[in-house]
């Protein structure tokens, strides 16, 4: 990368280097990380929620979390993927009222926006996997949605669904067994 490639305010450091600087208290590094990633985070979260205030709050919470715990990034995978995980969880936290998160997100999302994830899910829905998922009980399907489709950890899914972590694990185990049986 040359100096000509850098616009005013661009920082040539890689995202991982910015996180190391944030660990040292460098607010400029946080600003640069925000400048790089805020636009696409807003765009992707907007596919899931049409309320711009909620999206902005989720993005702000994401970077506040980065500032508070930059060491939470373990160096595995891309920094952008780590940021996405924080952002989607921040949005889901705002949407926490009990009930089906996917349905609530669909109601809040603008009608004309179709995310890449929705395209994949639509294809799955009309496949053998989709049919097998529909045959699961609502309790098992909710656990699969929370852990697989929304990417939540067992603990986060338990909190979201209002059930113990052990119940999430046992339901996921039953769901896997039922899906395996249905697809063989």
Query: What is the reported pLDDT for 73?
Result: 83
Query: What backbone torsions phi and psi does residue 173 show, to the nearest 5 degrees?
Result: -65, -45
Q: Is residue 54 a part of any domain in this protein? A: yes
Q: Is residue 119 a part of any domain in this protein? A: yes
CA 42/CA 52 separation, integer angstroms: 8
**CATH code of the domain covering residue 87:** 1.10.1740.10
Q: Which range of residues forms the domain containing residue 44? A: 1-104
Q: Are residues 5 and 92 in the same domain?
A: yes
Q: Please list the ranges in the chain whose pLDDT falls under 50.
A: 1-8
Q: Are residues 180 and 149 in the same domain?
A: yes
Q: Is residue 70 a part of any domain in this protein? A: yes
CA 179/CA 66 separation, integer angstroms: 37
Q: Are residues 77 and 57 in the same domain?
A: yes
CA 90/CA 112 separation, integer angstroms: 23
CA 6/CA 130 separation, integer angstroms: 46
Query: What is the reported pLDDT for 114?
Result: 60
Q: Is residue 109 a part of any domain in this protein? A: no
Q: Are residues 59 and 130 in the same domain?
A: no
Q: Are residues 1 and 92 in the same domain?
A: yes
Q: Are residues 91 and 122 in the same domain?
A: no
Query: What is the reported pLDDT for 118?
Result: 61
Query: What is the reported pLDDT for 4?
Result: 35
Domain total for the chain? 2
**CATH code of the domain covering residue 145:** 1.10.10.10
Q: Are residues 99 and 135 in the same domain?
A: no
Query: What is the reported pLDDT for 115?
Result: 60
pLDDT in tens, 32-75: 999 999 999 999 888 777 788 989 999 999 999 999 998 888 87
Question: What are the C-alpha distances in Å from 12 to residues 18, 72, 75, 151, 160?
Answer: 10, 23, 19, 31, 39
CB 11 within 8 A of CB 29: yes
Burial class (CB in 10 A: 0-12, 13-18, 19+), 152: buried
Query: What is the reported pLDDT for 7?
Result: 41
CB 171 within 8 A of CB 154: no
The two structure tokens encoding residue 182: 């249905």
CA 123/CA 129 separation, integer angstroms: 10
Q: Are residues 137 and 91 in the same domain?
A: no
Query: What is the reported pLDDT for 125?
Result: 62
Q: Are residues 42 and 126 in the same domain?
A: no
């Amino acid at each position: 990368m040359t100096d000509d490639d850098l616009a005013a305010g661009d920082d040539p450091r890689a995202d991982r280097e910015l996180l190391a600087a944030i660990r040292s208290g460098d607010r400029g590094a946080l600003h640069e990380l925000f400048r790089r990633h805020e636009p696409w985070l807003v765009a992707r979260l907007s596919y899931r929620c049409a309320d711009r205030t909620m999206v902005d709050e989720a993005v702000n919470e994401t970077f506040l979390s980065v500032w508070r715990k930059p060491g939470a990034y373990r160096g595995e995978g891309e920094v952008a993927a780590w940021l996405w995980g924080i952002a989607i969880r921040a949005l889901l936290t705002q949407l926490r009222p009990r009930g089906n998160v996917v349905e609530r997100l669909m109601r809040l999302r603008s009608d004309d926006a179709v995310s890449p994830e929705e395209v994949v899910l639509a294809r799955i829905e009309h496949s053998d996997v989709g049919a097998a998922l529909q045959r699961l009980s609502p309790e098992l399907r909710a656990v699969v949605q929370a852990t697989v489709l929304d990417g939540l950890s067992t603990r986060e899914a338990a909190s979201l669904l209002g059930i113990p972590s052990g119940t999430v694990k046992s339901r996921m185990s039953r769901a896997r067994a039922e899906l395996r049986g249905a697809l063989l």
